[in-house]
Amino acid sequence: MDINMPGMSGYEAAQVIRQMKGNDYRHIIAMTSEVNTPSLDGVYAQVIDDCILKPFQDSQLVSMVEMWAGRLTVIHE
Protein backbone atom coordinates (compact mmCIF):
# COMPACT_ATOMS: atom_id res chain seq x y z
CA MET A 1 0.00 0.00 0.00
CA ASP A 2 1.53 3.31 -1.05
CA ILE A 3 1.11 5.98 1.64
CA ASN A 4 0.70 8.82 -0.90
CA MET A 5 -1.93 7.90 -3.46
CA PRO A 6 -4.09 10.36 -5.39
CA GLY A 7 -7.61 10.80 -4.03
CA MET A 8 -7.14 8.67 -0.92
CA SER A 9 -4.08 8.17 1.25
CA GLY A 10 -2.74 4.70 1.89
CA TYR A 11 -3.72 5.13 5.52
CA GLU A 12 -7.33 5.91 4.54
CA ALA A 13 -7.40 2.97 2.10
CA ALA A 14 -6.05 0.67 4.82
CA GLN A 15 -8.82 1.83 7.16
CA VAL A 16 -11.44 0.94 4.53
CA ILE A 17 -9.86 -2.49 3.98
CA ARG A 18 -9.77 -3.16 7.73
CA GLN A 19 -13.50 -2.39 8.00
CA MET A 20 -14.45 -4.87 5.26
CA LYS A 21 -15.94 -8.14 6.47
CA GLY A 22 -13.58 -11.08 6.06
CA ASN A 23 -10.37 -9.03 5.98
CA ASP A 24 -9.41 -9.58 9.61
CA TYR A 25 -6.34 -11.64 8.74
CA ARG A 26 -4.79 -9.61 5.92
CA HIS A 27 -1.53 -7.82 6.52
CA ILE A 28 -0.90 -4.39 5.00
CA ILE A 29 2.64 -3.24 4.24
CA ALA A 30 2.98 0.46 3.54
CA MET A 31 5.49 1.85 1.04
CA THR A 32 6.69 5.43 1.09
CA SER A 33 9.54 7.63 -0.05
CA GLU A 34 8.95 10.02 2.85
CA VAL A 35 11.68 9.93 5.46
CA ASN A 36 9.38 11.40 8.12
CA THR A 37 6.76 8.66 7.99
CA PRO A 38 4.31 8.65 10.89
CA SER A 39 5.31 6.13 13.51
CA LEU A 40 3.80 2.68 13.27
CA ASP A 41 3.59 2.80 17.07
CA GLY A 42 0.71 5.28 16.90
CA VAL A 43 -2.45 5.59 14.86
CA TYR A 44 -0.89 3.97 11.77
CA ALA A 45 -0.29 0.78 13.77
CA GLN A 46 -4.05 0.30 14.01
CA VAL A 47 -4.36 -0.31 10.26
CA ILE A 48 -0.85 -0.83 8.83
CA ASP A 49 1.34 -3.73 9.91
CA ASP A 50 4.72 -2.61 8.56
CA CYS A 51 6.41 -0.04 6.34
CA ILE A 52 9.20 -0.15 3.77
CA LEU A 53 11.00 2.94 2.47
CA LYS A 54 11.39 3.55 -1.26
CA PRO A 55 13.62 2.99 -3.06
CA PHE A 56 14.05 -0.55 -1.82
CA GLN A 57 15.73 -3.64 -3.16
CA ASP A 58 13.47 -6.41 -4.45
CA SER A 59 15.00 -8.74 -1.88
CA GLN A 60 13.95 -6.38 0.96
CA LEU A 61 10.32 -6.43 -0.15
CA VAL A 62 10.37 -10.20 -0.69
CA SER A 63 11.81 -10.72 2.81
CA MET A 64 9.15 -8.51 4.38
CA VAL A 65 6.31 -10.24 2.51
CA GLU A 66 7.69 -13.66 3.48
CA MET A 67 7.93 -12.57 7.11
CA TRP A 68 4.34 -11.35 7.22
CA ALA A 69 3.04 -14.31 5.20
CA GLY A 70 4.50 -16.54 7.92
CA ARG A 71 2.36 -14.63 10.45
CA LEU A 72 -0.82 -15.14 8.43
CA THR A 73 -3.63 -16.60 10.48
CA VAL A 74 -6.68 -17.65 8.52
CA ILE A 75 -9.93 -17.11 10.39
CA HIS A 76 -12.61 -19.65 9.55
CA GLU A 77 -16.20 -18.56 10.01
State how far the Cα of 37 lies from the Cα of 50, in Å rounded to an integer. Answer: 11
Rounded Cα distance, 71 and 26, in Å: 10
Those residues whose C-beta lies under 8 Å from the C-beta of residue 32, and which sit 6 or more positions away, are 2, 3, 4, 10, 51, 53, 54
Alpha-carbon distances, residue 59 vs 9, 11, 20, 27, 69 (angstroms): 26, 24, 31, 19, 15
Q: What is the mean pLDDT of residues 47-58?
A: 88
Confidence label for 77 from pLDDT (cuts 50, 70 and 90): very low
pTM of the model: 0.73
